[in-house]
């Protein structure tokens, strides 16, 4: 392990953290980051990477304890300090000025009631940046410009809800870099962003770290992103770093079996198509002339699409393209639209409230966040049973049998049936949400960004599950996503949505190998790829 020297902005040595019951969470984690360097800390859910990242801020979550090791950060002037032994007041002064944090969800760092200029200025005020109000005002404008946003007074007066997700995340990055810290911890900052916005955020992080000599700890489960942004990689498994090296070394020639497993689970644009081939040509779901407007803003413009039984259509587009609005119209969750939605040739009422139990049974929705469909106060079995109680005439015994069979079908252990959603992992919760949608044996399954927040190994298992269920049950599937790299693994056809219009459609092979529209080519060009 490198000793703390002039080149080190952050040095973590033999860091050990456990639960209050004595179960080890981090088992002697060590790494260092030089100024201007980006170290990616990768691993699946439960590997300990977020605990390690928070420790780099001098923070140990409630329910955990620090058992040993040091986290040394070096201020701009002065000797390195162990953040975990600082008095709380000193630690707070360090956070934001010497070490700072960018969370996964920008909503966690932005106050919806305050204008963005005020929020950035507050960071400077709290840490006493500069010698005058004028200097701080100038820094607010400067740091907004540094993250690729307008720095003028008009833009600073915007509230978070007036910004896109990517703009919100860049404001969060601006807040983290405002006081010119030595170390920035970025916790999955591009999860849920479309590939074009993700590219902007990644370039912003890499540029700021390099230009200002900031050591960046980039926590992620996305190895394709790692190949884009990181100088070095540390792979975590069960609380230990099992492999380190340059990004090129780790991604091209992984030495540890776990690293090879992670890399093998990453979807590749150039992989062979593994989804089922042709299906019956009768139509399970059709959308004709679908248009939606909010005031003067057209969200969808005369959209047409068809999905056949047993077929998966990937609806692809960046944030704001209208893809979720389209899927909500199909589900009857958005009813103020023009055009028609048909199920097996029969028009569906626009509102779910006006649909029959059979129509509701036949079209089911899996949300991006399983918390949207799972009641946190109900057990998994109780949540999965709800559609059977409301949409079928099965008696209690038959409902229980169906619930048990469905949980088994999505490969959830029977012992999880009586647990609450908060007691499950992210992948287990998503399987439970899928079970809730499948329990009525639907004809059409709407999957809205169902893998965007999952690590690659869990993502791979969910994709495998959906593909096998689609083949087994003959369901039509509309798979809404911004991740084009999943296409060859899950879809038969792709429809590309931009600004409410489908600009290109075709088989997976046609769209990926010979894209016709400039927007599709731009999406492909901005999709992170593993180093070959």
- Structural domains of the chain ordered from first start: 1-98+181-266 (3.40.50.300), 108-180 (no CATH), 285-346+354-484+494-525 (3.40.50.300)
| Residue 526 or 51, more confident | 51
| Residue 524 or 458, more confident | 524
Mean pLDDT, range 359-373, rounded to an integer:
85
Q: Which residues contact 16 (CB under 8 A, 6 or more apart)?
A: 24, 26, 27, 28, 29, 66, 67, 68, 69
Examine the pLDDT at 275 and tell me if it is beyond 50.
no
Examine the pLDDT at 88 and tell me if it is beyond 80.
yes
Taking the C-alpha atoms of residue 269 and residue 247, their distance in angstroms, rounded to an integer, is 20
Examine the pLDDT at 237 and tell me if it is beyond 80.
yes
Taking the C-alpha atoms of residue 138 and residue 157, their distance in angstroms, rounded to an integer, is 15
User: Tokens standing for 317?
Assistant: 């587009």
Q: How confident is the model at residue 497 (pLDDT cuts 50, 70, 90)?
A: very high
Mean pLDDT, range 35-47, rounded to an integer:
88
| Residue 233 or 222, more confident | 233
Examine the pLDDT at 270 and tell me if it is beyond 70.
no
pLDDT at 378: 93
Q: Write the CA distances from 294 to 299, 337, 438, 480, 499, integer angstroms.
A: 7, 10, 32, 21, 13
3-state secondary structure of 339: strand
Instruction: Sort 288 into a burial class: Cβ within 10 Å, 0-12 / 13-18 / 19+.
Output: middle
Mean pLDDT, range 30-48, rounded to an integer:
89
| Residue 272 or 248, more confident | 248
- pTM assigned to the model: 0.63
pLDDT at 278: 42
pLDDT at 303: 94
What does DSSP say about strands 444-448 and 501-507: parallel, antiparallel, or unpaired?
unpaired
pLDDT at 267: 65
Q: How confident is the model at residue 6 (pLDDT cuts 50, 70, 90)?
A: very low
User: Tokens standing for 507?
Assistant: 């088989």
pLDDT single digits (tens) 409-451:
888 888 899 999 888 877 788 889 889 998 998 999 999 888 8
- Main-chain phi, psi angles of 137, to 5 degrees: -60, -40
| Residue 327 or 196, more confident | 327
Q: How confident is the model at residue 302 (pLDDT cuts 50, 70, 90)?
A: very high
pLDDT at 410: 84
Instruction: Sort 274 into a burial class: Cβ within 10 Å, 0-12 / 13-18 / 19+.
Output: exposed
pLDDT single digits (tens) 168-188:
888 988 998 899 999 999 988
Residue 216 contacts residue 242 (beta carbons within 8 Å): no
pLDDT at 465: 81
| Residue 56 or 372, more confident | 56
Nearest Cα neighbor of 286 from 303, 264, 262, 261 is 303
pLDDT at 3: 41
Q: What count of other Cβ atoms lies within 10 Å of the Cβ of residue 356?
A: 11
Taking the C-alpha atoms of residue 308 and residue 507, their distance in angstroms, rounded to an integer, is 13
Q: Which of 7-11, 264-268, 403-407 has the lowest mean pLDDT?
A: 264-268
pLDDT at 277: 45
- Main-chain phi, psi angles of 234, to 5 degrees: -120, 125
pLDDT at 527: 80
Strands (DSSP E) contained in 358-436 are 363-366
Percentage, residues of the chain above pLDDT 70: 94
Residue 242 contacts residue 260 (beta carbons within 8 Å): no
Q: Which of 273-282, 391-400, 515-524 has the lowest mean pLDDT?
A: 273-282
Mean pLDDT, range 187-197, rounded to an integer:
76
Bridge partners (DSSP) listed for residue 217: 39, 185
- Main-chain phi, psi angles of 337, to 5 degrees: -130, 160
Average pLDDT over the chain reads 87
């Amino acid at each position: 392990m490198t000793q703390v020297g002039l080149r080190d902005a952050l040095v973590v040595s033999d860091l050990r953290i456990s639960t209050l019951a004595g179960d080890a969470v981090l088992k002697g984690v060590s790494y260092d980051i030089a100024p201007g360097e980006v170290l990616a800390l990768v691993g699946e859910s439960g590997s300990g990477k977020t605990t390690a990242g928070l420790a780099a801020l001098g923070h140990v979550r409630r329910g955990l304890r620090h058992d040993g090791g040091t986290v040394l950060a070096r201020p701009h002037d002065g000797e390195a300090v162990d953040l975990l032994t600082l008095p709380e007041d000193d630690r707070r002064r360090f956070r934001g000025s010497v070490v700072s944090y960018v969370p996964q969800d920008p909503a966690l760092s932005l106050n919806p009631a305050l204008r963005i200029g005020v929020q950035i200025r507050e960071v400077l005020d709290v840490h006493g940046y500069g010698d005058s109000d004028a200097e701080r005002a100038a820094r607010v404008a400067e740091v907004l410009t540094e993250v690729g946003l307008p720095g003028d007074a008009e833009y600073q007066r915007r509230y978070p809800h007036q910004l896109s997700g990517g703009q919100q995340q860049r404001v969060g990055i601006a807040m983290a870099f405002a006081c010119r810290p030595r170390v920035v911890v970025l916790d999955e900052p591009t999860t849920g962003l479309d590939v074009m916005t993700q590219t902007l955020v990644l370039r912003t992080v890499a540029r700021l770290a390099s230009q200002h000599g900031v050591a960046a700890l980039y926590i992620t489960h996305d190895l394709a992103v790692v190949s884009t942004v990181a100088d070095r990689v540390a792979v975590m498994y069960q609380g230990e770093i099992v492999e380190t090296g340059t990004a090129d070394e780790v991604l091209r020639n992984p030495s540890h079996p776990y690293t090879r497993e992670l890399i093998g689970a990453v979807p590749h644009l150039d992989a062979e198509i593994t989804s089922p081939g042709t299906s019956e040509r009768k139509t399970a779901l059709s959308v004709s002339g679908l248009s939606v407007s909010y005031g003067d803003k057209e969200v969808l413009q005369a959209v047409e699409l068809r999905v056949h039984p047993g077929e998966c259509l990937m609806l692809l587009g960046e944030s704001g393209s209208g893809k979720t609005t389209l899927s909500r119209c199909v589900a009857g969750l958005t009813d103020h639209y023009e055009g028609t939605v048909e199920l097996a040739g029969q028009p569906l009422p626009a509102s779910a409230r006006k649909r029959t139990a059979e129509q509701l049974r036949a079209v089911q929705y899996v949300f991006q966040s399983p918390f949207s469909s799972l009641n946190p106060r109900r057990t998994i079995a109780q949540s999965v049973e709800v559609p059977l109680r409301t949409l079928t005439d099965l008696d209690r015994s038959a409902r229980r049998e169906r619930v048990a069979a469905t949980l088994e079908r999505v490969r959830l252990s029977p012992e999880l049936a009586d647990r609450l959603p908060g007691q499950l992992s992210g992948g287990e919760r998503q399987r439970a949400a899928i079970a809730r949608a499948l329990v009525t044996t639907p004809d059409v399954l709407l999957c809205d960004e169902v893998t965007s927040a999952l690590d690659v190994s869990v993502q791979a298992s969910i994709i495998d599950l959906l593909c096998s269920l689609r083949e087994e049950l003959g369901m039509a599937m509309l798979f809404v996503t911004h991740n084009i790299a999943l296409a060859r693994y899950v879809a038969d056809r792709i429809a590309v949505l931009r600004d409410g219009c489908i600009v290109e459609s075709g088989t997976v092979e046609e769209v990926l190998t010979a894209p016709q529209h400039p927007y599709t080519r731009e999406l492909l060009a901005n999709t992170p790829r593993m180093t070959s």
